[in-house]
Structure 1
Amino acid sequence: MSRAEKIMRGMSAVERILWGIAIVGLLAGVVGLIQRLTGGHTVAAYNTYVPWGLWVAVYTTLAGISIGAFAVAALGEGLRVKALQPLSGIALFAALAALAGGLLAIWLDLSHPLRFWKLYLSTQPTSLMAWMAWFYLIYGLLLLALVYLKKAQPESPAIRPLFGLGLLLAVIMGGAEGALFGVVSAQGLWESALIPIRFLADGALGGAALVLFLSILLGHADAEALRFLRGLVLGLLLFTLVLLWAEYSTTLYAGVPSRVEALRLILFGPFSWVFWIFEIALGLVLPLILLLLPGARPAVLAAAGGLVAFTSLSAKLNLVIPALVVPEFEALRLAFTGPGLSFDYFPTLTEWLLAVGIVSAAALIFLAAYRLIPIAHPSHSS
């Protein structure tokens, strides 16, 4: 029997379904990628006034999920939380796959993707974006080193300190990613000390929820792990709700025009359903109810984790886009007009196709690592 046949025979029905969905999504993404490569940025709906859109939201979402998933692995391996140790492989693969997808999203968003290396050769010490490029590089190399050590030298004394270092780096990186937005004083909705904290909370919630979903779906979560992850996701959900209430209520009370206008767009604008249905109802309230159900079965907990993970993009869409579609001063809307000078934005079909492809590529990286590198399987768990 060939190695490929052995791999196929070893797959569960759930794995086969996930592979099928991811491959179909990747094929859709290839269509979007071809359009992006042949049409440049003209295939996207963003413009001079709205320079960021769906792909930046995908990047921030996946980068945050990577940090959250790694935190779960680090709690198990670095801080020796016994309940999470059997899930460290899944969490580590999820962190690596999400990081790869996030970096792919922002790379394809660049005007000149092949010049990304200049970030490393022309680093400005005062540039948060330059620091983030180095953080991602170091973090990515650390993830690869941990995967290698877990497979080749599972008893290596270097594993625990590397997880501890990675956890520290992940916290710094998550805060710095939020600071990229929080220090932009020209955008009222972004300029807030709460934004870096929200990025950390959103990432931790999305990553922990994804690990909860995957560990149940792939049959790795025992009762002790489920209790811990259930409590962790529940606590992060409540913390996220408090942060959201704190930010929105103080913004409305302060009444700063640029901030209030962007917030009103989120709450009552033409795309307010993204906030009320996806971010609040499906992403926070329904998972909260499911997690609080007494005696909830694993399938219910998996549904809660899946809902949180798969709706996490909505929070970043509501952060990135509304701030840009509200002009810094109203006269700007009429001062200059012409192609590419519009404050209206909704992702094109190409943007959606490529976003689906990026997420699917990340899913395939996870599935391939899970199947080919056996550190996530029960017999190799700590």
Structure 2
Amino acid sequence: MTPTMTYFPAGPAAARARARADAPSPEPRPHGFLPERLPAQVLAGAWTDLDVLAHAAAAARTPQDARLLVERAGRAGELAVLRQRVGRLAPPRARAAAMRVAVIVAACGLSDLDPGVPVSRRYAHDDFLGLWASLAQRGEHERIVALPTLALLNWAPRHKPQRARTTDQLARGEVLVPIVRWSPSGHPLSRIDRLMLAAVRLEAQGIWLLRIAEGLAGRGPGDESVAMALCRFTRVQHVLRRQLRTEEVKLAMAPTTAQQRAVLVALADRGALEPPILLAADTVLGIGGRAGSSSRQRLRRHLPAGDRCRLSALERDCAALRTLAHRSGPEADAYREAQESLIVLRRTYTELVRTAVEPGPVRSLRP
């Protein structure tokens, strides 16, 4: 059989056409917004000091107690050593270290600080601020103190997987445990622990939503496959809503502390508890928890640079699809049904967070 050849005319237009033909077609990432590899559970060498500090800060009674722990580590020179070694970390270890720094920052009540601003020195040790800024810069993730770091890098399967599977498959099918617990060892998982694990499961199950979203990119009115894809989009959102309802029942029975509730309130006020998969759905459908494109960018600022670019590209490619909001017909009806379903799903997630910040059962996390 004679191979099929594609011919392009000469000139600049030909160069652009050849570039488009040669460019690899983008494939959806199998792991969605979850890390491609399992988060690192162990930090080696001097970095074990950071691991110990993160566990201690998360279990501290008050932000002041957590800050004293950081000051003590700073005076001992531990943070200065780590700050000098950030450049030597392999990417998975850098992400693991960033997660622990994010936990420490949240536990210390410093979530609204920018480590690069001089005023921050009044509230945190210089070497800790330098470590924080270096890890944030290393991961192209300026605002690491948010749900994508606190949750999506802070989980592991309870038992070692027997065969190779993607992280989204592991997060859906295995019992998960937090790497850094906000509850003391030997005690039940706290509400903040369960909220973060629920966020991981939401991202793992929500990968189907992301795949449909990326399949809708470039489509618009007149495409016969749009209505069917939007109906699938709605069905997946119904599944995610039922999943969140189940998680809410478990979370409501978990213990909590005033310290942990304050951490969640601070993060929620900054828009730092927004699940990336819901931001992706909002990108496709053009709605969200807060109106306006500026607020959409505000919610995305907590994501790594690669994920922000991914959502921006998805938003651009779905522009034609969003014109269905002003049309009529089966496609437009399916579009509006998907929008209404997303509104309900967002409301369900908000209720989950609200349950997490309410006073818990009458039992203490303390011995």
- State the TM-score, normalizing by the size of structure 1: 0.32
- State the TM-score, normalizing by the size of structure 2: 0.33
The structure whose residues are more often helix, as a share, is: 1
